[in-house]
Structure formats: C-alpha cells, structure tokens
Amino acid sequence: MSILVTGATGTIGSLITHGLASAGADVTAFVRTRGKVSFPDGVTEVVGDLTDVPSMRAAFSSVRTLFLLNAVTPDELTQALIALNLAREAGIERIVYLSVIHADKFTNVPHFTGKYTVERMIESLGIPATILRPAYFMQNEFMVQKAIEDYGVYPMPIGGAGVSMIDARDIAEIAVAELLRRDRAPSALATVTLDLVGPQTLTGTSVAQAWSAALGRDVVYAGDDVAAFEGQMAAFGPSWLAYDMRLMMAGIQTFGMQAAEGAIAPLESILGHPLRTYENFVREATTKA
C-alpha cells in the first residue's frame, strides 16, 4: 500500500514526493500528464484528474495514506470534497490535508473559505487527518523577484500587521514527517491541526529592507493599494483569481498572518532544525539569479 501525493508536480507536492522517496516510502504521484517532471527512482506515476471520479477511484484502490492538495481553482472545493468522499469510500484513514492559516477568519476570501469547509468536513465525518495550515509561502516571491530587481520596488501589498512567511521546504518537510508518522502507525491516529509559520513577523517595509540588503541597493515597499494589485494580477491571469488574491491581501493587511504564541518550537521539533529565515531565502534567491 502506497502514499499517494496529489499536486505532485507543484512546488509543495514535488518536494514531498522527493522527501518521501528519500525516506524509503512507497510513493505514488497523482499527475495529469505522465512524464511532465522527473521523479526519483521508485516513484510510481498514476494519471488522473481530481474532477474525474473513475481515475480517482483507480488511484485510491491501492493507497493507505493520502496527501491532499487542491490548487486554487474555481472548483477547488468540489475537487476536495469529492476526493475526501472517495478516500473514505476506499477505506483510507491516514490523510494529510494542506489548508491555509486563518481559514476560519478570512471568511470573504473564496479559497480560504473553501479550505475551511474542507476542514469542517474532515471534523464532521471524523476522518483521521493532519490539517496543515501554512502562512504565506516565501516562494511566492519568485513571481515578483524580477520586478524587485529591475525596479527596486516590492509590489506585494502585505501591509504592516505582520506576516510569518514560511519556506515551502519547511512545509514539505513537516508534511513528509506527518505522512510517515501516519503511514507507519499500527492504526489510524487522532486528527491534529498545525499552523505552519516562519520564525519572523514580516511587514512590507521589512521585506523591502531584506531585499535591499541582499541586492546592495534600495528597494522600497510599493504600499497597500490592493486595487492596483488586482489590476496587475488581472493583466497576467484570470480576473477571478486576481480578485481572490486582492481579498486575501486586504485580509492580511487587516488581520496579519501569524500563529499563536508557542507555535515555533513544535514545528522545529518536527523538522529537527530551525525554521528557515526570510533573509536566508532572499540571499539564496539573489545568489541563484
């Protein structure tokens, strides 16, 4: 019986797939197109789609443990609820679900409320799971790195309430640890929820300062204008996604994105090393560039 990883070709899913393979686990990567990325030896690819029930039933037939990641799409909630129902139908009782921090607080943000609905389904049906609730990914900055370097402006309107950004590599390592813990347990384990955060509270201004230090020249924060941000997003992608991201940024400015006091130590205990800092991430990003 294998561990099935959905979203296996994405940023988090590919890291998890490699991490599980390195740990000697029997891993199956759920992909839309075979051969799109290079997986480690021993990883089995199964082709399917989260909106295609027969392909999911076939994929779940030899699975003991499931990593469920649903990308931000118009039908994200439908995909997740169908996947959990089919997992339950297949008798899968070892699940790690990737949600988002403050899913219950950002109630007007479509993909936050969608993930919170999935959390409620997990709770109401008593599905044994680890719910991972990550804050803003540091790797999101790759989307705006060229703008930062070319124009000296940090354009993401994250405001000043404070965001505990987390490195995707730390998210993946924690997910791998939880998948292995559940997969290797003699029986289904109790449901747990983990807020995944980085070790620092960052603002638009402090983030710009980190880029200034790494680049050796001034980088300024572009400000809190979420309407302008929506317009920039809509120029490169679908309008529904641009609006969803605008609502998220407005929520970040209002509420921040931080975990409760005492959250760092348990995460570092799972990792076995300190959480990666934003400054180190930026230094790595600028060195590679």
Q: What six digits make up the tokens of 234?
A: 């809509």
Mean pLDDT of 39-55: 93
Q: What is the pLDDT of residues 142-175, one digit of tens each?
A: 999 999 999 999 999 999 999 999 999 999 999 9
Instruction: Report pLDDT for 289.
Output: 60
Which pTM does this prediction carry?
A: 0.96
**How many whole angstroms separate alpha carbon 252 and alpha carbon 76?**
21
Instruction: Report pLDDT for 202.
Output: 97
**How many whole angstroms separate alpha carbon 89 and alpha carbon 266?**
33
- At 242, which amino acid appears? A
Question: Residue 115, CB half-sphere, CA atoms under 13 Å: how many?
Answer: 23
- Which residue's entry shows tokens 């393979």? 21
CB atoms within 10 A of CB 7: 21
